[in-house]
């Protein structure tokens, strides 16, 4: 395949599990209400023509690079197999935080707007074993004193894309080449990390194709954890917020298979949606608890106005409603976010996940205004700092108790 060829794909499809289904009809929706009409973001109607899709090879090889996670306790490095992602999650932070910085280079590939086109382009990084090995040696030689301890000396697959996504090229041959190349990036790099370093691995994916590598992952022993993002078990909600990602039911089945294969698993119940009420969260947490994960992460969704508009527009094409009023102002979002965090904390206690729960409160919840809005700012600040400094479990440390450095009673309304 020529490296500068732009692959234009026809009608977009919806990924359910590993099957590609045609888009469904678009029944008319009467309205989607917001708490303040003056703050309603513009809803962009779906285009009459299908979006241009770009599937190609990027010009920079895949290597291990330091990451800049704050308050996540996921990893110290990342290995990203591609620029872009076929899942097209409407809430994704990557376009604004990462790919927008490469807009001039992406334009040469036919990507006009990295943010608006998110989900419609995947540029697979080439494999250069010499450069990869150099990055591996550099990471391995990094003194632990220079690393954030909450990173567990781990390399994350992946932080800006999905290592087990399905890449759709212009025809079957091109799709096969791209998917084979992406798969080789994952398998060969994992083999080298296993055999030539002492680094740990954290896999985070939405893709059931990960099953193909369970034997390889198991060969790492306690050096590898496998996780999936599972905000809800409702496939209908996922079709709105994660339109081209495999269905939650497929992800749960993959997590079960991983646990049965003897892998150390974790789950990111993140980001949960405004429609995920206490009943929905309980169902998800109960299913996750049955898997006996080493860690359960959680955070509520936090998206910008243009992404709200995009999600609203997609929901409209499906004839569905979404609760976007929580995004109307900073105060309404903060109230929603704290309620979600508090609810998950309470439910985790009830389903037996208390010692494995790891909340991800957004940094904005620590603003001066947010702290002063709490009836007990001191206790609220201690709660935030606990989660922000918490180090997530790693398999070899499972026997250690999880430190709770704040009063472990339920918040209660007076804290929120």
- Which CATH number belongs to the domain containing residue 252 in this structure? 3.20.20.70
The separation between the first and the last C-alpha atoms of the chain, rounded to the nearest angstrom, is 55
* pLDDT in the model for residue 399: 45
| Helices vs strands, H then E, count in the chain | 12, 13
The dihedral of CA 70, 75, 76, 79: what is its sign? negative
Is 198 within the bounds of a domain? Answer: yes
Residue 21's SS3 state is strand
Residues 97, 100, 102, 104, Cα dihedral to 10°: -170
Per-residue HEC secondary structure of 149-200 comes to: HHHCCEEEECCCCCCCCCCCCCCHHHHHHHHHHHHHHHHHHHHHHHHHCCCE
Give yes or no for a contact between 359 and 344, defined as CB atoms under 8 angstroms apart.
yes
Q: What is the tens place of the pLDDT at every residue in 24-47?
A: 333 333 333 323 333 333 333 444
**Mean per-residue pLDDT, 59-70:** 93
Cα separation, 145 vs 7, whole angstroms = 46
* pLDDT in the model for residue 50: 53
Cα separation, 221 vs 396, whole angstroms = 9
Q: What is the tens place of the pLDDT at every residue in 108-148?
A: 888 888 877 777 889 999 999 999 999 999 999 999 999 99
Is 412 within the bounds of a domain? Answer: no
Cα separation, 216 vs 327, whole angstroms = 42
For the chain, what is the largest distance between any 2 Cα atoms, rounded to a whole number of angstroms? 62
Residue 115, Cα to own-chain centre: how many angstroms? 16
By percentage, how much of the chain surpasses pLDDT 70? 81
Q: Which 8-state DSSP code applies to residue 71?
A: S
* pLDDT in the model for residue 324: 86
Is 388 within the bounds of a domain? Answer: yes
Is 114 within the bounds of a domain? Answer: yes
Is 408 within the bounds of a domain? Answer: no
Q: What is the tens place of the pLDDT at every residue in 140-199?
A: 999 999 999 999 999 999 999 999 999 987 778 888 999 999 999 999 999 999 999 999
Is 30 within the bounds of a domain? Answer: no
Is 6 within the bounds of a domain? Answer: no
Residue 266's SS3 state is strand
* Neighbouring residues of 393: CB distance < 8 A, sequence distance ≥ 6: 266, 294, 295, 356, 402
Is 220 within the bounds of a domain? Answer: yes
Tokens 């969704």 locate to 301
Residue 168 vs residues 86, 228, 289, 336, 353: alpha-carbon distances, Å: 8, 22, 34, 37, 38
* Boundaries of domain holding 92: 14-18+46-397
Residue 153, token pair as written in the block: 């000396």
pLDDT surpasses 80 at 21: no
Cα separation, 129 vs 137, whole angstroms = 12
Q: Mean pLDDT of all residues in the chain?
A: 83
The count of domains in the chain is: 1
Residue 226's SS3 state is strand
Q: Are strands 121-124 and 82-84 parallel, antiparallel or unpaired?
A: antiparallel
């Amino acid at each position: 395949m020529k490296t500068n060829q732009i692959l234009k794909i026809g009608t977009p499809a919806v990924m359910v599990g590993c099957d590609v289904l045609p888009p469904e009809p678009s029944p008319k929706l009467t309205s989607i209400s917001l708490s303040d009409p003056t703050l309603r973001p513009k809803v962009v109607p779906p285009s009459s023509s299908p979006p241009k899709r770009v599937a190609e090879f990027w010009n920079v090889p895949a290597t291990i690079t330091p990451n800049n996670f704050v308050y996540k306790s996921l990893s110290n490095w990342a290995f990203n197999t591609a620029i872009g992602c076929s899942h097209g999650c409407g809430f994704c932070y990557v376009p604004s935080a990462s790919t927008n910085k490469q807009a001039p280079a992406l334009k040469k590939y036919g990507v006009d707007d990295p943010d608006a086109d998110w989900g419609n382009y995947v540029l697979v990084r080439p494999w250069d074993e010499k450069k990869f090995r150099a990055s591996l040696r550099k990471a391995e030689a990094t003194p632990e004193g220079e690393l954030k301890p909450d990173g567990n000396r781990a390399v994350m697959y992946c932080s800006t894309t999905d290592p087990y996504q399905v890449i759709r090229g212009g025809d079957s041959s091109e799709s096969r080449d791209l998917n084979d190349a992406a798969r080789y990036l994952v398998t060969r790099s994992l083999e080298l990390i296993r055999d030539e370093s002492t680094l740990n691995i954290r896999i985070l994916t939405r893709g059931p194709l990960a099953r193909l590598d369970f034997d390889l992952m198991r060969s790492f022993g306690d050096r590898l954890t496998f996780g999936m993002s599972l905000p809800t078990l409702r496939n209908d909600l996922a079709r709105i917020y994660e339109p081209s990602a495999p269905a939650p039911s497929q992800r749960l089945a993959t997590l079960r298979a991983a646990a049965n294969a003897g892998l150390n698993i974790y789950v990111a119940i993140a980001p949960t949606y405004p429609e995920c009420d206490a009943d929905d969260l309980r169902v998800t947490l109960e299913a996750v608890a049955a898997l006996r994960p080493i860690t359960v992460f959680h955070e509520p969704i936090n998206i910008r106005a243009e992404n709200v508009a995009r999600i609203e527009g997609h929901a409209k094409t499906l004839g569905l409603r979404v609760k976007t009023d929580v995004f109307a102002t900073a105060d309404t979002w903060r109230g929603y976010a704290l309620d979600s965090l508090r609810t998950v904390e309470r439910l985790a206690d009830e389903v037996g996940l208390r010692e494995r729960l790891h909340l991800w409160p957004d940094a904005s919840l620590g603003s001066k205004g947010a702290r002063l809005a709490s009836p007990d700012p001191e206790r609220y600040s201690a709660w935030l700092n606990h989660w922000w400094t918490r180090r997530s479990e790693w398999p070899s440390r499972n026997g250690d108790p999880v430190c709770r450095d704040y009063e472990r009673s339920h918040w209660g309304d007076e804290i929120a």
